[in-house]
Chain A
Amino acid sequence: MTQPEGTQPKGGRERAQAQPEQTLPQRVRIVLAEVARRRRATRQELTEQTKVGDALIRGLIRAQLALALRLAIVVLIGLGSLPLLFVLAPGVASARIGGIPLPWLLLGVVAYPFLFGIGWVHTRMSERNEREFANLVGRPDRHE
């Protein structure tokens, strides 16, 4: 399950039920206790490991793992291929930029901002995954 599918269609369905053809939204009576109860219900689905709750958390885990693996592959290609590249293409290994041999420049300097950049992207995107999951669980309209 991907998060955008989880959040977007729900908003659409809600609108479709509440106001079929109108442009002005209808007044809806909100009873706070009801909202709280529904919210609790979604949380219960998670903590009691119902089918829905299980599917929800599996979806989050899969999204987070896919993110981590994708970024790991970027590192594998970006850094992990270098030893092989230096062997297969000796020209790359002996190239110089500003008088400094390319391998020294790549491994001595460029590697660190590269690693940090990947880490930064991961922090942002994994937090986004979690925010979307939290919104999904926190939505009062999930159980109708």
Chain B
Amino acid sequence: MSNLALPAIVLVTLVTVTIGVYGVRFARTTSDFLVASRVVSPTWNAAAIGGEYLSAASFLGVAGLVLANGVDMLWYPVGFAAGYLALLLFVAAPLRRSGAFTLPDFCEVRLGSRWLRRLATGFVVFIGWLYLVPQLQGAGLTLETITGAPSWVGAVVVGTVVTGNVALGGMRSITFVQAFQYWLKLTALAFPVVFLLMAWQGDGRPAITDGVGEEWLLPHTGGGAPEALFETYSLILATFLGTMGLPHVLVRFYTNPDGAAARRTTLVVLGLVGLFYLFPPLYGVLGRVYTPELAENDPDAVVLVLPGVVLGMGVLGQVLGALVAAGAFAAFLSTSSGLLTSVAGVLSTDVLARGSSSGTARDFRIASLIAGVVPMVLALQVAELEVSRVVGLAFAVAASSFCPLLVLGIWWRGLTDVGAAAGIIAGGGAAALAVLLTVLGLPLEGWVGVITGHPAAWTVPLAFGVMVVVSLATRHRLPPTVGKTMLRLHAPDSLHL
């Protein structure tokens, strides 16, 4: 492995911390501290959303899955990007106009219910932690691949840096950090791949030689088995609809000045994220050619290992190896920061503040520590799964709980608090249960394994169905303010109603 990789990782970490500390000097009041004063421009905001979103799952995991399983895995990046289209079509502008800063806020704005707010808080924390654990494990894997250090070292280092940074810097600093991280991640994948492709061309364009050939190249290995089709559609549903329910994505929308800006920001994000996803599959394909042995034991490491294997240990291989390692660390730092900020946000306002005044900066710091330590402990205890798989499961839970809440809440007057809660408990609860069974590694065979390993195809319709039916049955609980709320969500910004 590259000798420059470790210094590169240290550099990225130091720069991230420095920008974080620098950002603190701007943060004057509590509201500045929490929402970056809403003065962030759409382009910065979009880059920040992209930087926060492109996690270890995108940077390492997608290439690893493609290497191991072939073309079907391309649905992961397509879905990760398409989630922003669903967000744009159904949620972006009305959500911004609602003024909600977090998902629990939205519950209260739309349905005026404190206990529904509690339930939403629980799901935000669950999704946040489920998403954080693979980030930290990915950091462990990266440091292990580069230095041979035991895998807990990376998890603890990233966990500590991020927790400290979030607790001390708040969100203003994070906007700048995240925007910087997007461009770093894009460069760190796009630049080396040019050299990798040139080397592949120079080698006479070698084909895949390890015998998987056709089967790996074609969709639905096993001749279109119904299980494979179910899994693919489940994945599509989870990723397309899950993005809008991810806690760290929604927080960012509050930093747009109005609904129209939220829409434009989302469109830019869709472009930036789509641009990024052109590159990881190339690593997976080149990995099939040059490092097929990784497919069996360590697919997530392919992005890190490939430059050294293909380009040799000369200066070029070393520099590019260091670059991808730096990009991977940027991915862990930025996504973890974003997740931690939102988990800490709901913990400080909904759990620590105990209904008194909304969370203070001090509550937020305490909440950051709690929010950071728990996933760190889990990352060390839970067995490692493929990074993208676990993240895909987090999407499934979000798609089965918050997606129906947001879509029905924004477009249907008939939603009641009881209906929303029933849908979240039925769909989100079922998805969460399926995820826990999968993560704990129970040996489930056949269709039981399929529907627990890829739950979204049945939990998303379940959540929508239960929400609608129970809302219709509890029509007397319709909030009296629903007309006013709908007007606020949908009236054009220019009217200033």
The interface of chain A, by Cβ under 8 A from chain B, is: 43, 46-47, 49, 54, 57, 60-61, 64-65, 68, 71-72, 75, 79-80, 83-84, 86-87, 90, 93-94, 101, 103-104, 107-109, 111-113, 115-116, 118-120, 122-123, 126-127, 130-131, 133-134, 137-138
Q: List 13 A-B contacts (CB under 8 A).
A: A43-B497, A46-B497, A61-B411, A64-B490, A86-B219, A101-B218, A103-B74, A104-B74, A107-B74, A108-B74, A112-B78, A120-B267, A133-B492
- Contacts A61-B490, A123-B88, A134-B494 given; indicate if A112 touches B275 (C-beta within 8 A): yes
Contact A49 B484 (CB under 8 A): yes
Interface secondary structure of B, over-half rule: helix
Determine the chain B residues whose CB is within 8 A of the CB of A64 once the complex forms: 490
- Whether B82 sits at the interface, judged by CB under 8 Å, is yes
Cβ of A53 to closest chain B Cβ, rounded Å = 8
- Whether B26 sits at the interface, judged by CB under 8 Å, is no
Known contacts A46-B495, A57-B491, A126-B93; 12 further A-B pairs (Cβ under 8 A): A49-B483, A49-B484, A101-B218, A108-B74, A108-B281, A113-B274, A115-B270, A118-B85, A119-B89, A122-B88, A126-B263, A130-B492
Determine the chain A residues whose CB is within 8 A of the CB of B232 once the complex forms: 83
Instruction: State which residues 480-497 of B face A: CB under 8 Å.
Output: 483-484, 486-487, 490-495, 497
Contact B217 A104 (CB under 8 A): yes
Determine the chain A residues whose CB is within 8 A of the CB of B78 once the complex forms: 79, 107, 111-112, 115
- Whether B278 sits at the interface, judged by CB under 8 Å, is yes
Determine the chain B residues whose CB is within 8 A of the CB of A57 once the complex forms: 486-487, 490-491
Determine the chain A residues whose CB is within 8 A of the CB of B270 once the complex forms: 115-116, 119
- Contacts A116-B267, A119-B270 given; indicate if A47 touches B260 (C-beta within 8 A): no
- Whether B233 sits at the interface, judged by CB under 8 Å, is yes
- Whether B220 sits at the interface, judged by CB under 8 Å, is yes
Cβ of A60 to closest chain B Cβ, rounded Å = 6
* A119 to B264 alpha-carbon distance, docked (Å): 9
Please pick, from B86, B89, B271, B494, the residue contacting A116 in the complex, using a CB distance under 8 A: B271
Determine the chain B residues whose CB is within 8 A of the CB of A87 once the complex forms: 219-220, 224, 229
Determine the chain B residues whose CB is within 8 A of the CB of A119 once the complex forms: 84-85, 88-89, 266-267, 270
Question: Chain B 250-274, CB within 8 Å of chain A: the 1/0 string?
Answer: 0000000000100110110011001
Minimal Cβ-Cβ distance residue in A for B66: A108
* A87 to B486 alpha-carbon distance, docked (Å): 43
- Whether B418 sits at the interface, judged by CB under 8 Å, is no
Contact A80 B236 (CB under 8 A): yes
Q: Which of A49, A126, A138 has the most CB of B within 10 A?
A: A126
* A79 to B78 alpha-carbon distance, docked (Å): 9
Contact B490 A60 (CB under 8 A): yes
- Whether B75 sits at the interface, judged by CB under 8 Å, is yes
Contact A108 B220 (CB under 8 A): no
* A47 to B484 alpha-carbon distance, docked (Å): 7
- Whether B467 sits at the interface, judged by CB under 8 Å, is no
Cβ of A139 to closest chain B Cβ, rounded Å = 12
Minimal Cβ-Cβ distance residue in A for B260: A127
* A43 to B487 alpha-carbon distance, docked (Å): 11
Q: Which of B233, B264, B483, B487 has the most CB of A within 10 A?
A: B487
Cβ of B407 to closest chain A Cβ, rounded Å = 10
Contact B218 A94 (CB under 8 A): yes
* A55 to B101 alpha-carbon distance, docked (Å): 29
Contact B219 A54 (CB under 8 A): no
* A65 to B267 alpha-carbon distance, docked (Å): 18
Instruction: State which residues 273-330 of B face A: CB under 8 Å.
Output: 274-275, 277-278, 281, 285
Contact A54 B483 (CB under 8 A): yes
- Whether B81 sits at the interface, judged by CB under 8 Å, is yes
Contact A115 B274 (CB under 8 A): yes
Determine the chain B residues whose CB is within 8 A of the CB of A43 once the complex forms: 495, 497
- Whether B71 sits at the interface, judged by CB under 8 Å, is yes
Contact B267 A134 (CB under 8 A): no
Contact B229 A84 (CB under 8 A): yes
Q: Which of B85, B278, B494 has the most CB of A within 10 A?
A: B85
Instruction: State which residues 70-121 of B face A: CB under 8 Å.
Output: 71, 74-75, 78, 81-82, 84-86, 88-90, 93
Minimal Cβ-Cβ distance residue in B for A96: B217
Cβ of B442 to closest chain A Cβ, rounded Å = 27
Determine the chain A residues whose CB is within 8 A of the CB of B71 once the complex forms: 101, 103-104, 107
* A113 to B281 alpha-carbon distance, docked (Å): 16
Contact B74 A122 (CB under 8 A): no
Please pick, from A47, A103, A120, the residue contacting B219 in the complex, using a CB distance under 8 A: A103
Determine the chain B residues whose CB is within 8 A of the CB of A137 once the complex forms: 495
Minimal Cβ-Cβ distance residue in A for B235: A83
Cβ of A25 to closest chain B Cβ, rounded Å = 28
Determine the chain B residues whose CB is within 8 A of the CB of A103 once the complex forms: 71, 74, 218-219
Please pick, from A54, A90, A123, A133, the residue contacting B267 in the complex, using a CB distance under 8 A: A123
Please pick, from A49, A79, A83, A134, the residue contacting B82 in the complex, using a CB distance under 8 A: A79
Determine the chain A residues whose CB is within 8 A of the CB of B494 once the complex forms: 130, 134
Instruction: State which residues 40-90 of B face A: CB under 8 Å.
Output: 71, 74-75, 78, 81-82, 84-86, 88-90
* A26 to B220 alpha-carbon distance, docked (Å): 73
